[in-house]
Amino acid sequence: MKKVLVALNIEPRHRDKLMAAGAGCEFMFTAMGEATGEQVQWADIIIGNVPAEYIKSSEHLELLQLFSAGTDPYIVPGVLSEKTVLANATGAYGKAVSEHAFALTLMLQKKLHLYRDDQRLSQWKDEGPVTSVSDSTVVVVGLGDIGLHYARLAHNMGAHVIGVKRRAGDCPAGVDELYLSEEMDKALAKADIIASFLPGTGGTYHTYNAERFAVMKPGAIFINCGRGSAVDSEALFDALECGKIGAAGIDVAEIEPLPPESRLWQLQNLVITPHISGNFHLPDILERVVDIACTNLRTNLGGGEYINIVDMKTGYKK
């Protein structure tokens, strides 16, 4: 009898669904963030993001099904045995994160952050010219599920959308031009809006540094709802403070929680949200995560094929 640890905040109906998918298994349920080392070592299958250090290359762990799209701690050598299948939750977050990123985009274009500041000061003040999505060139870096959702939102609003991705291929729906990662600077130089959805891997670390921000148009808007490690925080601060770029909206930071002493808090042209765009606030996320977990649980028990298997070298879904 296989042992399944579910480390996820779920409702009874989700529990029933998982137990039906894993009929014949022994289940243990715990809340997110509360799994113990003993529980992790007990499990043959884990559904949830447990502390990587608890896994200790468990030789009998067959499947680790994450509730996140990001896989950063689990692709470090020595965490997972070669026998363990790692799957992420790509496909669960496209709607939620892309809409949050698009809300940040509109907020900055229409200067709503400045009007909110004025409201707190009881000031009836005109903050001047704004820009439009429909007149913009939007560069989306990272064309996974989230990036494609954002690209389609921008395209449907009339923007010219340029996508940047690792591998060559056909232009997906909602994208007008396609550039490879090594051509990123050419794309960034054209952008009125840059929306980044890069994962946190060794290959994406500080993708956005002083040199990259220097390539961007003066007045460009930069959005990051991928991973904070993709952005050099000091370079972002400098680019915003000196006006090299116009504004930025970030839902992630290089250090999380962002320390109170960080200079980023002081910037008027930066909007910060605390990594909540995909934090199960939209009920749709949990439904999709449970569905993905059920599919892979059934596969482990002998039916169908795994979905969302992670490439351990890149951290991306294969």
> Active-site residue among 256, 261, 281, 298?
256
DSSP string computed for 75-142 = SSTTSS-TT-EEE--TTSSHHHHHHHHHHHHHHHHTTHHHHHHHHHTT----------GGG-EEEEE-
> Active-site residue among 227, 281, 298, 305?
227
Tell me how far CA of residue 40 lies from CA of 1, 28, 53, in angstroms. Answer: 16, 10, 10
Cβ pair 118, 67 in contact under 8 A: no
> Active-site residue among 60, 166, 206, 275?
275
Q: In 159-279, where does DSSP find H-type helix?
A: 184-188, 210-215, 233-241
Q: Let me know if 38 is a catalytic residue.
A: no
Q: Let me know if 281 is a catalytic residue.
A: no
Tokens of 143: 């064309």
The answer for residues whose C-beta is within 8 angstroms of residue 146's C-beta and 6 or more apart is 69, 93, 94, 97, 98, 101, 197, 225, 226
Cα dihedral value 103, 144, 201, 193, nearest 10: -40
Amino acid letter, residue 90: T
Cβ pair 137, 191 in contact under 8 A: yes
Tokens of 200: 């946190």
Tokens of 214: 């220097």
CA dist., res. 280 & res. 113, Å (int): 25
Q: Let me know if 256 is a catalytic residue.
A: yes
Please list the active-site residues.
Answer: 227, 256, 275
